[in-house]
A and B are shown apart, each in its own frame.
Chain A
Amino acid sequence: MKLLHAEILIAKQLRDSVFKNKAVFIITIFIGILLLYAAFSGWENYTSQNETSEKYQHESREDWLKNPDKNPHRMAHYGNFAFRKSTSLSVFEFGMEPFFGNAIFLEAHKQNTANFSEAGFSNSMLRFGEISIAMVLQVLLPLLIFFLGFNSIAYERENGTLKILLTQGINWKQLLLGKILGVASVIMLLFIPTIVVLVLVWLFLQDFAISADETVKMVLFILFHFIYLIFFCTIAVLISAISKTSKNALVSLIGIWLLFTIILPRTTQAIGAYIYEAPSKIQFNSNIEKDILKQGDSHNPNDLHYKAIKDSLLRAYKVDSVQKLPFNYSGYIMTEGEKISSRIYNEHLETLLKIYKKQNSFSKTVSFFNPYIAMKNLSMGLSNTDYDSYVDFQKQAEDYRYKMAQKMNALQIKYISNTKSDKPKIIGKEHWADVEEFHYEPKGITTVLENEIISIISIILWMMMLFILVKIASKKLKAI
């Protein structure tokens, strides 16, 4: 304790002077209110999104099971839905959620788009951003830190008190650490209550039944935000220390803030999107259609690919027409068709996702220069509201769709008569329950950390760099 005595004194002094400033007091109170509002609206969003999603997932499942005896292919077209559910951390970090489609209709032969995103139903307002706890922590608190810290040392220099401090046996290292501690202690007055509220909300939402995975994510979410805020405290004090006047410090800090939180995120993503142009939907779909036609069109009776299959089947079973095969021929052909079309679709999707990945690579790389992007990506990853989660959701839905369609084809092959008999070609409704309900499993913590490894490395590098800068600064700084 004795070791840090001077630092603590400096920190206390800074904190006291901050609270004498009425404007800062008002801003702090205001941000507190904003945090409460963000928690409240996040809660509301989360519960309504999940209630709706659960309600309709359940309803559509009931509808599916309620279907009477019918031809399995009719059921494959009746289809199922995949509704997206949010994870508990998305209460605090909305991430890309408003831009995700919330429902995918899953049917045979066709990969449908994820529809009904919040953004599609919104006026341009949404594009200004949203207020979430994460946004307040990542965007507004750094600015508040800069407002608190810009004159921490520069003002002492302007006043001449800096010389007095240094002649009284305080060294630069103590001064810098003390000031950083001081700014941090003010911010903690906002951060700690926020975390308490956050954890409580989080526990209540899950009725205190928390999983290990979610807990680790939550702990990391808090830990990394803490580190992130300390970064900004350090930056503020360092800039203040090297600036001649407090005005210069303020202008530089505001510039840094604008660059980090407003200008860089948008420009880097825009550059990525500009360089790697993604195909439009019509182009994407027509390319798939062309490739499928190349492989063979199961709807075209004269198609070579399907004719070859037919001939080999006839030879293998030593019959002269498909009606004499011991299983349902059209079911067999549809299985083949589904296999081909979904393979081609997945290949094209893979190419498209690669383009998107390249577009995103710019902003991912820039996280080395910008702690905001690193933090944003990491917190979106932890709350499963990032790009990878969305792709993951679509893939899980597509897997489910494929299995459902092939299950129905298998039932057709097995049970549906191959000849033109008078009996209706239907099977019992008990088979519908064979297809399990769609269940979306969010990515676990290990996958998230793997995906966000760049962000983590960048945060560690930032930590090291700021540490070194403080060291250098404490040796090189001058009082005048």
Chain B
Amino acid sequence: MLALLFKNFIRSKGTKIGLLFLLCIGFISLLIGKQFQDKQQNNIQEAVVYQKEHIARNAAFHKDEIGLLLYYIKFSLVNKTLPINSLAIGQRDVNPSIQSVTIRGLEAQKYDAELNNPNNLLSGNIDFSFVLIYLFPLLIIALSYNVISEEKESGTWKIVATQSQSTFLYILKLFYVRILSLIVLLTVLLLIAVFVLKIPLDQSLFTFYVLSVLYLLFWFSVCFFIVSLQKHSNFNAVILLTIWLFLIIILPAAINTYIVNKYKVPEALEVTLKQRNAYHEKWDMDKNETMEKFYKHYPQFRKYKLDDKKEFEWLWYYAMQQMGDDESAVQSRELESKLEQRNHASQTIAMFIPTLHTQIQLNETAKSDLGNQLLFLKETKLFHEKMRLYFYPKIFEEAPVDKENWEKFKVKTFTDSTETGFLKAFLPVLLFNLVLIGFGWRNFRTLI
């Protein structure tokens, strides 16, 4: 029986075209992911080469003045891109994965944007997560909207109803065939991905896979429920497409507007203006006042004093730069906490919207969400502080440039080790599935 059902299902031209289309576009998404991965790797290699050349060249030019040298040289920190990231590019195309900073004020450098074609950002990536979240449901709808209703409309339903022991079991089998084909398709695509993108078989991939399967099952549950209402095919198609539209476009967009308006971030511009003034005004202020503030922040540097006879000293210069960061710290922290609130609020709301939840969780697993970006910014701050504390005493003591081993300043990498909890990732979608299947079941029992 099952074998016959499967044959009947796969023989239909629409099914074949649909499955083939998804397979093709899924494969294209992997190619796009591969290109993204190569680009990220190239960037890192370039950053490594560039940093080496850049430091060596500057160290040769400014060999007498370490303070001036450090005015120029940049140190890079890389936000590690996992192979699985290519499946869900997320925010990684908007935000830079490499931060290059001098030891001068960080607030003036931290938010530098990536170079981008806004048109690409607007239309979005065709990464695997897009195929999964947007296109798989469409095929699921196309394959399931007329289960039963088609047979009823063509008059074959009565024959089925009299010939099978249980019509409900028959319906389940129809769904089983469809679910199985799509899960096989998903698995094949992910297997290709594992080879093409060299994704390690680890917990991240497992989470990614289970979440994807649950997401497909969610759409089957939706179809199951709608089919259980036993309406006309046209009605099913319209309703299912409307549900798709709601979950994919309208609700996410509405929630996004809500979050953007609720957590506005004027602090971003505030912090930029503030740090500019805080640093620049020090040029026209009493040097000792600036130094006093600097010593208060770093008591260990109190032993370095300004020479009254000199008009300019690097000690003073870096103390001024430091003030740019110190005096805009409040706004900077506010900005950070606002963004954290945004992230938190969207994750919480998303639990009630499976499409959104899946996208956010996939991005989180692939380390391409806002949370990862915030961690990276935090790490940049630590990295910057470390470089500062290393070089401050050298600058203040006017250490000779050639005594420093510049080769040792390699590009550093930040690895985001946040682990996605299974419960948090799977439970919301699972619950939706169970509720929909439950209601669908009840409808069938009362209506057939």
Partners in one complex: yes
Q: Enumerate the 6 nearest inter-chain pairs by beta-carbon distance, A residue then B residue, closest first.
A: A128-B252, A269-B123, A356-B117, A99-B121, A96-B118, A125-B256
Residue of A nearest to B60 (CB): A300
Given A127-B359, A130-B256, 10 more contacts at CB 8 Å? A96-B122, A99-B94, A123-B346, A125-B360, A131-B250, A266-B126, A270-B32, A274-B35, A283-B43, A286-B50
B23 at the interface (CB under 8 A from A): no
A203 at the interface (CB under 8 A from B): no
Residue of B nearest to A119 (CB): B94
Q: Are A280 and B42 in contact (CB under 8 A)?
A: yes
A346 at the interface (CB under 8 A from B): no
Residue of A nearest to B371 (CB): A123
B277 at the interface (CB under 8 A from A): yes
Residue of A nearest to B112 (CB): A113
Smallest CB separation, B61 vs chain A (Å): 6
C-alpha gap A252/B95 in the complex (Å): 39
C-alpha gap A349/B373 in the complex (Å): 27
Smallest CB separation, A23 vs chain B (Å): 7
A-B contacts, 30 listed (Cβ < 8 Å): A52-B266, A70-B284, A78-B276, A81-B273, A96-B119, A99-B121, A103-B269, A105-B272, A113-B112, A113-B114, A113-B115, A115-B113, A115-B268, A122-B342, A123-B369, A125-B252, A125-B259, A128-B249, A129-B252, A130-B256, A247-B233, A250-B238, A267-B25, A269-B119, A270-B123, A272-B120, A280-B114, A281-B114, A282-B43, A297-B61
Interface residues of A (CB under 8 A from B): 23, 27, 34, 37, 41, 44-45, 48, 52, 56, 59-60, 63, 67-68, 70, 74, 77-79, 81, 83, 95-96, 99-103, 105, 112-131, 135, 139-140, 143, 147, 150-151, 246-247, 250-251, 254, 258, 262-263, 265-267, 269-270, 272-274, 277-284, 286, 289, 293, 297, 299-300, 352, 356, 359-360, 363, 387, 390
Q: Are A360 and B46 in contact (CB under 8 A)?
A: no
Q: Are A95 and B122 in contact (CB under 8 A)?
A: yes
Binds A, one of B240-248, B383-391, B427-435: B240-248
Q: Cβ of A48: which chain B residues have Cβ within 8 Å of it? A: 261, 264
Q: Cβ of B159: which chain A residues have Cβ within 8 Å of it? A: none
Q: Cβ of A105: which chain B residues have Cβ within 8 Å of it? A: 108, 272, 276
Which listed residue (A114, A121, A262, A282) contacts B134, Cβ 8 A?
A: A262
C-alpha gap A96/B119 in the complex (Å): 7
Smallest CB separation, A378 vs chain B (Å): 15
C-alpha gap A352/B113 in the complex (Å): 16
Q: Are A266 and B346 in contact (CB under 8 A)?
A: no
Residue of B nearest to A143 (CB): B245
> Given contacts A120-B94, A247-B233, are A363 and B269 in contact (CB under 8 A)?
no
B111 at the interface (CB under 8 A from A): yes
Q: Which of B296-319 contact A (CB under 8 A)?
A: none
Q: Are B280 and A116 in contact (CB under 8 A)?
A: no
Binary per-residue interface labels of chain B (272-291) against chain A in the complex, 1 for a CB within 8 Å, 0 otherwise: 11001100100110000000
Q: Cβ of B268: which chain A residues have Cβ within 8 Å of it? A: 115-116, 121
Q: Cβ of A70: which chain B residues have Cβ within 8 Å of it? A: 283-284
Smallest CB separation, B360 vs chain A (Å): 6
Q: Cβ of B245: which chain A residues have Cβ within 8 Å of it? A: 140, 143
C-alpha gap A425/B235 in the complex (Å): 81
* Interface of A, helix, strand, loop or mixed by DSSP: helix
Q: Cβ of B124: which chain A residues have Cβ within 8 Å of it? A: 127, 266
Q: Cβ of A68: which chain B residues have Cβ within 8 Å of it? A: 284
Q: Cβ of B252: which chain A residues have Cβ within 8 Å of it? A: 125, 128-129
Which listed residue (B50, B135, B359) contacts A282, Cβ 8 A?
A: B50
B31 at the interface (CB under 8 A from A): yes
B265 at the interface (CB under 8 A from A): yes
B255 at the interface (CB under 8 A from A): yes
Q: Cβ of A352: which chain B residues have Cβ within 8 Å of it? A: 115
Binary per-residue interface labels of chain B (17-61) against chain A in the complex, 1 for a CB within 8 Å, 0 otherwise: 000000001000001100100010011001100100010010001
Q: Are B237 and A266 in contact (CB under 8 A)?
A: no
Q: Are B130 and A281 in contact (CB under 8 A)?
A: no
Q: Are A359 and B112 in contact (CB under 8 A)?
A: no
Q: Are B256 and A247 in contact (CB under 8 A)?
A: no
The winner among B108, B114, B118, B233 for most chain A CB atoms within 10 A is B118
Q: Cβ of A267: which chain B residues have Cβ within 8 Å of it? A: 25, 126
Residue of B nearest to A269 (CB): B123
Q: Cβ of B242: which chain A residues have Cβ within 8 Å of it? A: 27
Q: Are B90 and A280 in contact (CB under 8 A)?
A: no
Q: Cβ of B98: which chain A residues have Cβ within 8 Å of it? A: 281-282
Q: Cβ of B54: which chain A residues have Cβ within 8 Å of it? A: 286, 289
Q: Are A129 and B117 in contact (CB under 8 A)?
A: no
Q: Cβ of B235: which chain A residues have Cβ within 8 Å of it? A: 23
Which listed residue (A115, A123, A299) contacts B342, Cβ 8 A?
A: A123
C-alpha gap A147/B342 in the complex (Å): 37
The winner among A79, A265, A273 for most chain B CB atoms within 10 A is A273
> Given contacts A116-B269, A121-B342, A283-B43, are A356 and B119 in contact (CB under 8 A)?
yes
B363 at the interface (CB under 8 A from A): yes
B116 at the interface (CB under 8 A from A): yes
Q: Cβ of B130: which chain A residues have Cβ within 8 Å of it? A: 266
Q: Cβ of B96: which chain A residues have Cβ within 8 Å of it? A: 281
C-alpha gap A130/B248 in the complex (Å): 11
Q: Cβ of A60: which chain B residues have Cβ within 8 Å of it? A: 273, 276
Smallest CB separation, A104 vs chain B (Å): 10
Q: Are A250 and B234 in contact (CB under 8 A)?
A: yes
C-alpha gap A37/B146 in the complex (Å): 34
Q: Are A113 and B363 in contact (CB under 8 A)?
A: no
